[in-house]
Amino acid sequence: MQKAVFLDRDGVVNEDREYVSRIEDFRFIDGVFEACRELQSMGYTLVIVTNQSGIARGLYSAERYHRLTEWMLAMLAEEGIDIAGVYYCPHHPDGVVAAYRQDCRCRKPRPGMLLQAATELGLDLAHSVLVGDKEADVEAARNAGLALAILVRSGWPVNPATSRADVIVDSLRDVPALLRTAEIHRPGE
Ligand SMILES: [Mg+2]
Ligand SMILES: [Zn+2]
């Protein structure tokens, strides 16, 4: 089984401009390409897990989301980065689009996307890591039994006093060095 780094998208891979859905609004955060290449060379499978409640909220369509995702993956591939899977949650309990208005199992902090990825891609969750910019990401990592939940400051404002993250760093750029020195064990192992 493969160890993985789960990446939240907005605020980790690209600048969070709230409900990014257009290619022209998508800006990769500095250092993301280098960090992804390094994580790959360290043997980590890269998986993106992203809440996209803008679809349920009627702000953009699933089709537009998929177009942006295809473009993002092409940009990453040009940089030598292979994303094994992109998992997204289009739902929200208060959504205005009936098809997506539900209290689902995939919206972070719930672990549905991580568990699905683990099954489909053969991932070893207990030796995998998540990088996110919100506490919902951290909670999803906990709920999926990941080894490590890393919070970055490149997106949403971080509160170190209340955060349940294991580590807080500036951005994804800092993660390869962190994982090279960290002993990755499941809590209690
Ligand atoms: Mg985010
Ligand atoms: Zn969902």
| Dist CA 53 CA 35 (whole Å) | 27
Res 179: pLDDT: 95
CA of 108 to the centre of ligand 2 (A): 8
Rounded Cα distance between 4 and 66, Å, is 23
Angle at 170 between CA 164 and CA 176, to 5 degrees: 90
pLDDT at 61 exceeding the cut of 90: yes
C-alpha distances in angstroms, 8 versus 122, 139, 161?
Answer: 19, 12, 22
93 burial class (0-12, 13-18, 19+ CB within 10 angstroms)? exposed
- Whole-angstrom CA distances from 29 to 67, 154, 156, 162 are 20, 8, 13, 25
Q: Which fold has domain 4-181?
A: Rossmann fold (3.40.50)
Cis? peptide before 157, omega within 30° of 0: no
Task: Check if the beta carbon of residue 149 is closer than 8 Å to that of residue 166.
Answer: yes
- Report how far ligand 2's centroid is from the alpha carbon of 129 (Å): 21
If you average pLDDT over residues 19-41, what whole number do you get? Answer: 97
Average pLDDT over residues 42-65: 97
pLDDT at 184 over 70: no
Q: Which of 52, 57, 61, 58 is nearest to 87 (CA)?
A: 52
pTM given for the model: 0.95
Ligand nearest to the CA of 100: 2
Distance of CA 132 to the CA centre of its chain: 6
Cα three-residue angle 134-138-87, rounded to 5 degrees: 85
Task: Tell whether the model's pLDDT for residue 169 goes beyond 50.
Answer: yes
- Residues 63-98 have pLDDT tens digits of 999 999 999 999 999 999 999 999 999 999 999 999
Our answer to whether residue 10 is catalytic in this structure is yes
Task: Assess whether pLDDT exceeds 50 at residue 19.
Answer: yes
The full set of domain ranges for the chain reads 4-181
pLDDT number for residue 77: 98
pLDDT at residue 186 is higher than 90? no
State the ligand closest to the CA atom of 53. 2
Summarize pLDDT for 94-129 with one digit per residue, the tens: 999 999 999 999 999 999 999 999 999 999 999 999
Whether 166 is a known active-site residue: answer no
